[in-house]
Amino acid sequence: MMNSDRSSEDESPTSSRTPLISIGLAILAVLMVPVFLYSVGPEGPIKVGDVVFATDRHRVRMIDAGVDGEQKHSSTCFLVPRVQLVVQKIGISPEGLMIAEPIAIEKAELPSCPPRMPVVVHAHQVTLKADLWGGLRDTLSHIFSSR
């Protein structure tokens, strides 16, 4: 009689795992839908004050405001992929150049652009949407490489 009770106990944990797996997959699907929609959605026009993201590693010119307030192009620096920039001025020339300031940079080592230093970027060097898949790939590779 005890053998019949044990067999019902053994079947119980395996049968309870099946719903948990399906519930977990359903939660994962619900969480991934907004990410997918964001990544395939259209971009709008870039406006002053928008936060944009560098599309790749780009060489840009830094702007140095002199003592007299005149802006001069000084040396160059490199933007790293997915760095955030705040757009300060748009359409400074017919080529579609804009002035933006890098933000959320902890420390800048030359040749990287220092934080809050205005730089001149082209429209093709920035995007309104962050590269979610590239960021996810970098995060996962960082996690698995540290082990």
9 located within any domain: yes
Between 29-33, 72-76, 112-116, the lowest mean confidence (pLDDT) is in 72-76
The answer on pLDDT for 133 being more than 60 is: yes
DSSP 108: -
Question: Please, which pLDDT band fits residue 67 given cuts at 50, 70 and 90?
Answer: very low
Question: How far is it, in rounded angstroms, from Cα 133 to Cα 81?
Answer: 13
Residue 88 backbone phi and psi in degrees, to 5: -100, -40
Q: Which residues contact 99 (CB under 8 A, 6 or more apart)?
A: 63, 87, 88, 89, 92, 118, 119, 120, 121
- Let me know whether 55 and 93 are in one domain: yes
Domain, as residue range, for 123: 51-134
Based on the fold, state whether residues 35 and 57 are members of the same structural domain. no
Quick one: 36 and 60 in the same domain?
no
The residue type at 109: E
DSSP letter (8 states) at residue 110: T
Query: What confidence score (pLDDT) does residue 108 get?
Result: 64
Q: Is residue 3 part of a domain?
A: yes
The answer on 64 and 108 residing in a single domain is yes
The reply to whether 110 and 60 lie within a common domain is yes
Q: Is residue 147 part of a domain?
A: no
- CB-side exposure of 33: number of CA atoms within 13 Å? 5
pTM greater than 0.75: no
Is residue 90 domain-shared with residue 117, that is, in the same domain?
Answer: yes
Find the mean pLDDT for residues 77-98.
Answer: 85
Domain match, 99 and 66 both: yes
The predicted-structure confidence for 21-54, as pLDDT tens digits, reads as follows 999 999 999 998 887 887 777 777 888 999 898 8
Cβ–Cβ < 8 Å for 82, 130: yes
Same structural domain, 12 and 83:
no
Q: Which of 7-11, 22-26, 85-89, 124-128 has the lowest mean pLDDT?
A: 7-11
Six-digit token string for 25: 């997959």
CA–CA separation, 115 vs 59, rounded Å? 15
The identity of residue 10, as a single letter, is D
Please give the tally of structural domains in the chain: 2
- The tokens describing 97, both together, are 């150049």
- Is 37 within the bounds of a domain? yes
Residue 130 and residue 110: Cα distance in Å, rounded? 24
Please check whether residues 73 and 122 belong to one and the same domain.
yes
Same domain, 15 and 56: no
Structure tokens at 5: 């009770």
Q: Is residue 77 a part of any domain in this protein?
A: yes
% of the chain residues with pLDDT over 70: 78
Judgement on whether residues 86 and 121 belong to the same structural domain of the protein: yes
